[in-house]
Amino acid sequence: MSEIVTVFGGSGFLGRAVVAALAPGWTVHVAARHPNRGIDPEAAAVSGVEVDIRDDEMVGHAVAGSTAVVNAVGLYSERGGETFAAIHIEGAGRVARAASDAGVRRLVHVSGIGVDSGSPSAYVRARADGERRVREAFENAVIVRPSVLIGPDDALLGSLDAVTRLAPIIPLFGHGDMRLQPVFVHDVARAVHAVLKHASPLPIYELGGARTCTYRELVQMVLAHRRRRRLLVPFPLFAWDAIATVASLLPSPPLTTDQVELMRADNVVAAEGVGTFADLSITPSGIDELLERCLS
């Protein structure tokens, strides 16, 4: 029998790609609140287990018998009991402790580029504190930090496509000069697979796509791909903060102050001190070659 890998968040955007990358060689357990969303009905080696990452007993049950665990749970907007602290700090630590107690051989924890425990962003702080909790519970855990994820039905290009289709004027975040390194979701999934197979992986990998661009350039690429002409207007970040503060009063806010804070800093791979795609013998795709696939 093949070894078992449990993928927390396996029904999410990245989680589904990870499950697809692992399924040919592993028995994969999709651990999520709605696990069937991440299961291909034709994948015989994939099964689901319902889990709330905030519940000790459910998490412990999910990791039992696993050789490896991947935590790809992501929360980008707080709602009710789903807070950054509950998911990215307490939940991450809970998965790591359960994996350690179950004798799991390899734990891969998905975080994000730019983690900083001193950040004004509650989301960024939680990601950083979550990494610390994981290390405390599972010393040899491998941290994977992708840049902004792109792929079919992604949040970034999909929203830009919708906005540029409807609005004649596109307000930028500041001057739109924040640098991004958009990374294909399936390239990150391949990296997770490579980490699980690696005899001695590095402790941290930062994963960015082949091309670095500014936010303005990204908007221009979407416009050019769709053959649209729109006016791009710089819009100060303090004004976006005010809009996000008002929007936060809505049940499902379209913009949060944490998301605005993320637009104040570059989201690119660190120059040194971390592993990259190259250390896993993977050549990532660039956004130029992915636009057609992502926006089809």
pLDDT tens digits for range 92-119 = 999 999 999 999 999 999 999 999 999 9
Q: How high is the pLDDT of residue 225?
A: 95
Residue pair 151/184 in contact (Cβ under 8 Å)? The answer is yes
Nearest one of 10, 91, 14, 22 to 58, comparing CA atoms: 91
pLDDT band at 41 (very low <50, low <70, confident <90, very high): low
Q: How high is the pLDDT of residue 42?
A: 67
Nearest one of 36, 38, 34, 33 to 10, comparing CA atoms: 38
Mean pLDDT check: name the lowest of 69-83, 92-106, 228-242. 69-83
CATH of domain 4-149+181-210+268-284: 3.40.50.720
pLDDT band at 248 (very low <50, low <70, confident <90, very high): confident
Q: What is the pTM of this model?
A: 0.94
- The pair of structure tokens assigned to 109 is 């924890």
Average pLDDT of the residues in 205-226: 96
Average pLDDT of the residues in 136-151: 97
Q: How high is the pLDDT of residue 38?
A: 63
Statement: residue 1 has pLDDT above 60: no
pLDDT band at 39 (very low <50, low <70, confident <90, very high): confident
Statement: residue 189 has pLDDT above 80: yes
Q: Could you tell me the residue ranges of all domains in the chain?
A: 4-149+181-210+268-284
Q: How high is the pLDDT of residue 79?
A: 82
b/e 177-198 (16+ beta carbons within 10 angstroms → b): ebebbbbbbbbbbbbbbbbbee
Statement: residue 2 has pLDDT above 80: no
CA distance 291 to 289: 6
CA distance 33 to 11: 8
Torsion sign, CA atoms 133, 135, 141, 147? positive
pLDDT band at 253 (very low <50, low <70, confident <90, very high): confident
Nearest one of 161, 216, 207 to 185, comparing CA atoms: 207
Q: How high is the pLDDT of residue 161?
A: 95
